Structure 1
Amino acid sequence: MLRDATGDDVNLMLSWRNQEINRQVSKTHHVITADEHARWWAGTRTDPTRRVLTYLHDGTPCGVVNFFDLRFDGPRTGSWGFYLDADGLAERGETLPAWLGVMRAAVDHAFDVLTLDRLDGEVLAHNAVVRQMNRRFRFVEGPGRPEIHDGREITVIPISLDRAARRRR
């Protein structure tokens, strides 16, 4: 289940984002400071092209879904990303069910609530597990492009999912 993120979620979001596993599959892999996170949250809350949602698995907050670059004039498009409380979910043996759940919930939200025509995103080339899961959800990969973030070169692969290609339950 997804719900709008609130100020009460900010510290949880920061702790999850700074988990080692989440940093290693993100464009920026440095530890996010409290001040940096507060600036992001302040800008995000008032940006009409963004939505930040908290994912609940069995009623427990354990993830963040971030929609951004939302365009509602002309073709309705937007980009997204997510991260989970990887450490907490692993301790409880709930990683895979939560991962499937957050992806289902995010795709449903994109097409059923935001009524997007296309959902875009990015994945790092070395993140083979997420790339495989994206394909399962029928995302299509574009050509990778090299980028430099936090002093390291990474290959970023764009992904997209059109409304018509969406897998329905």
Structure 2
Amino acid sequence: MAKALFYLFFGLFGDVMCNYNDPRLCTSESYQAEGYAPSCRFKCLNGDVEEEVDYERGTFCFVNREDGTLHHLGHCDKGTCVPENRGPGGSLPHQWDAEYHGCNDVMTDKVVKNCTYVCKKERQSWELPLYFYGVYEGKCELDGETGICRSGVCHSGSQFPQIDNDALPTPSK
């Protein structure tokens, strides 16, 4: 009887239990992880043929420079990561929302090219890694001068006047 129940159970439900999703299959154009996509194209299997497919328009992405520093955060449009501009009134785009700020902020004495960086959080080998942003606090390059990083954006040093030339005031008698 037990043997019959075993065969009946696996005969009816075995295919359902052993059916799994292969992450390499072309099933969707959406990025299948939280955070940013490291590019706007991915390879997947359509039957036995490997294809390169664009992520859907609007997928958040990032582009690094050749030296590994962040060039820009953006969104995918026809397979290209397009920089995202500030909105009306100077508001930051949604790529800067708190849910994507998953990296520690870093205080640095070095002059950085970009006040923002992207970190990679590893997961199980079959899962896509997670990419989030963090911000540098310190000095940055801005149009040939040294600026100041504030909230992940490089601002001109002239916007932050020095108080008393960094000297303590002399007490008056």
TM-score, with structure 1 as normaliser: 0.25
Larger radius of gyration: 2
Indicate the structure with greater strand content: 2
Higher relative contact order (CA 8 A, sep 6+): 1
Indicate the structure with greater helix content: 1
TM-score, with structure 2 as normaliser: 0.25
